[in-house]
Structure 1
Amino acid sequence: MSDIEFAHLVRLSDDTGLHEHADGPLPRREHGYCLDDVARGLVVLHREPDLPADLAALAEHYLAFTAYAQAEDGRFHNRLSPDRRWLDEPGLGDWWGRALWGLGTTAARSTTPAIQRAALECFDRGAHHRPPSVRTMAFAALGAAEVLDADPLHASAAALLGDITSYIGRPRTDENWPWPEDRLFYANAALPEALIAAGDLLGSDEVRDDGLRLLDWLLTVESRDFHLSPVPTGGWFLGEPRPAFDQQPIEAAAMADACARAYQVTSDPAWLAGVHRAIAWFSGDNDLGSLMQDEQTGGCYDGLTPAGPNTNQGAESTLALLSTRQHLRTLLRSTG
């Protein structure tokens, strides 16, 4: 049985998938579902070492949703109406990248062979595409890393993961701004994490070290007084005011993921500081000293605004909290 509270994720879910939005703790059923969140759910659930029966059933619902969303050519729909009609055409947006991340994680970590095979078939169907967005590619690369870690001879996963370097490029020579983009946007830590994974699994010290350098810089600029201070939804560049709002839980979760991978690859305990800052952000060690989780429901607030938390508890934020708490559990077990 998991020691992490999944009650709110269950509350947001049904036999179709995962409701995207909430009004406080209650799912906004009229807003329907999106693959983006369902795929995140696959990642989180399959990171659990021993899924109880109810969560295993939930993971199978999420996998069925993801397979249903996939077109024959490997692209994916994203938005499903409450009456189960697709509201968009299949595409290669962030949801495609997150779908491959979720499918790769399921294929690598599920303990049910039939589920592994089904997830891998969907992954392989989509892995030949190359999206226009660097973040979309980074999410997909993290799924490829899961597959490749489980099967080092998996050709399409190796090709997908290897191509992340051409998307991100090398760090800039400017020590104040080595970031390969002109501005920080969202889920920023996924980019260096993808490089670290590619360098580690494909045997390139240069690519791994580029990722570590970018992550170290990112953790520095996204910290204030030794607590995490994520960039706002509008992005950030040097000289713009900080702290800035609204801050999103996905930023803390991405930082926890990336620093945990850096620690796994390097065994350098310095990376644990980033994981701890991300965990502490949810517990109130943030720019406003505000608790970002509802301890009664198990949900996470949707963002940190200048006036405090946005107390709606949607799927993206709740999954960000759950994934970060998974790193806390791993750290507690590994250090003590």
Structure 2
Amino acid sequence: MSVSIGAPTRYDHIPSPPFTHLRRLTDAGGVYEHARGTTPRREHGYCLDDVARALVVVSRESGPAHDDLREHYLSFVLAAQDDDGRFRNRRGTDLRFRGAPCVEDCWGRALWALGTAARDPRALAAFERGARWRSPSPRTMAFATLGAAEVLSIQPTHVGALDLLAAAAVAIGRPAPRADWPWPEPRLTYANAVLPEALLVAGDALGVSAMIIDGLGLLAWLIELQTRHGHLSLVPAAGRGPRDRGAGYDQQPIEAAALADACARAHRITGEQRWLDGISRSADWFLGANDTAKSLYDPVSGGGCDGLERYGRNENQGAESTLALMSTLQQARALLGAQA
């Protein structure tokens, strides 16, 4: 499947990722999950999902400016891991972790983060403990696959990472045999682009061209489905099925970030311009090229608003949304900077 996304002529309007609000959300316990406006809501505590996202973001940065955050977030992820390799997601302000260890999304995101930080022996050892597990969720497996790819970038024959990639590809499966709905699930839900990105990662690492073709086709279809009037119109929080039409709300920043990550992966594999256009569209969605023409980037706070609503935006600036903004801007800076 080949889709022409359409290329903006300039990329120099895209700002660098700000760290101001992320630091505001961070204290000795981790990253606060929620905020009221720009004020952290301490009563809700911390979650591994967000700290893992934060570790991915800071690990992408070169230089020592954010070494303190990198160490802090890595320490949180390591502390969240059980002796058997699984993870607990919730942490209270008393610094105690809640709940039973699991292989839910926090496990997949933790492995993604540990893989991104795997040049640190502590992170690599924790990844290896966690990578022995398998999740029943294809999306969770896809998150873990991104960490496996990072490990393979420094240890190309790492057996645990390769086995995880193969298992994730099986869990995700092939596109459905419907031209109008090739997606391997009955509905689009959240962080959707991570599924084709995982197929790209697995196909590239395992040398299986069919997986790359499947991943590129699903990603192109996903972009086409989410493009209206020249801008992104993202899958809303309630999801989207084959019969849904028109714009949906509440649109979540995590969708734009997952799309930018997947397009970055596709460009690295193929070198094709259309994937740079996808990254640009993702960044522009935060900057106001969306269904309500509202910017979700707050240049004063450095934060990202929690969602695009029918008549505006959610003014709260929680961790997930702020990190989605930062991640998208990182991809734009890395791959579009030379185009400016």
Aligned partners of 2:131, 2:167: CA distance in 1, in Å? 11
Write out per-residue CA displacement over residues 274-315 of structure 1, whole angstroms, 9 at most, x where no aligned residue.
111100000000000001011100000001111211000000
1:14 aligned residue: 27
1:193 aligned residue: 197
What is the correspondence of 1:128-167 to structure 2 with a 5 Å cutoff? 128-167=132-171
2:313 aligned residue: 309
Residue identity in the other structure for 2:284: A
Aligned partners of 1:51, 1:289: CA distance in 2, in Å? 37
Gaps of 5+ in 1: 109-115
Alpha-carbon offset, residue 3 of structure 1: 4.8
Report the TM-score when normalising by structure 1: 0.95
Quote the sequence identity (%): 53
Alpha-carbon offset, residue 247 of structure 1: 0.4
Determine helix, strand or coil for the equivalent of 2:308. Answer: strand
Alpha-carbon offset, residue 202 of structure 1: 1.4
Instruction: Tell me whether 185-194 or 42-51 shows the greater mean CA deviation.
Output: 42-51
Determine helix, strand or coil for the equivalent of 2:313. Answer: strand
Aligned partners of 2:53, 2:160: CA distance in 1, in Å? 22
Residue identity in the other structure for 1:105: T
**Residue 74 in 1 paired to residue 85 in 2?**
yes
Aligned partners of 1:290, 1:277: CA distance in 2, in Å? 14
- Alignment check: 8 A CA contact 1:20 1:33 kept: yes
Instruction: Tell me whether 12-21 or 35-44 shows the greater mean CA deviation.
Output: 12-21
2:98 to 79, 87, 96: 87
Determine helix, strand or coil for the equivalent of 1:156. Answer: helix
- Alignment check: 8 A CA contact 2:50 2:319 kept: yes
**Residue 40 in 1 paired to residue 53 in 2?**
yes
What is the correspondence of 1:234-253 to structure 2 with a 5 Å cutoff? 234-253=238-257
Residue identity in the other structure for 1:107: A
1:228 aligned residue: 232
Instruction: Tell me whether 245-254 or 84-93 shows the greater mean CA deviation.
Output: 84-93
Aligned partners of 1:129, 1:13: CA distance in 2, in Å? 30
Determine helix, strand or coil for the equivalent of 2:101. Answer: coil
What is the correspondence of 1:313-332 to structure 2 with a 5 Å cutoff? 313-332=317-336
2:173 to 158, 162, 169: 169
- Alignment check: 8 A CA contact 1:98 1:136 kept: yes
Report the TM-score when normalising by structure 2: 0.94
Instruction: Tell me whether 161-170 or 120-129 shows the greater mean CA deviation.
Output: 161-170
Task: Flag as ranges the 4+ runs of structure 1 deviating above 6 A.
Answer: none
- Whose RCO is larger (CA < 8 A, sep 6+)? 2
Count how many residue pairs are aligned between Structure 1 and Structure 2. 326
Aligned partners of 2:252, 2:337: CA distance in 1, in Å? 28
1:262 to 243, 266, 275: 266
Alpha-carbon offset, residue 158 of structure 1: 0.6
Aligned partners of 2:311, 2:90: CA distance in 1, in Å? 31
Determine helix, strand or coil for the equivalent of 1:304. Answer: strand
- Alignment check: 8 A CA contact 1:45 1:51 kept: no
1:286 to 284, 290, 296: 290
Instruction: Tell me whether 157-166 or 317-326 shows the greater mean CA deviation.
Output: 157-166
- Alignment check: 8 A CA contact 1:149 1:201 kept: no
- Alignment check: 8 A CA contact 2:17 2:327 kept: no
1:112 aligned residue: none
Aligned partners of 1:238, 1:184: CA distance in 2, in Å? 9
Aligned partners of 1:4, 1:152: CA distance in 2, in Å? 30
What is the correspondence of 1:207-226 to structure 2 with a 5 Å cutoff? 207-226=211-230
Determine helix, strand or coil for the equivalent of 2:165. Answer: helix
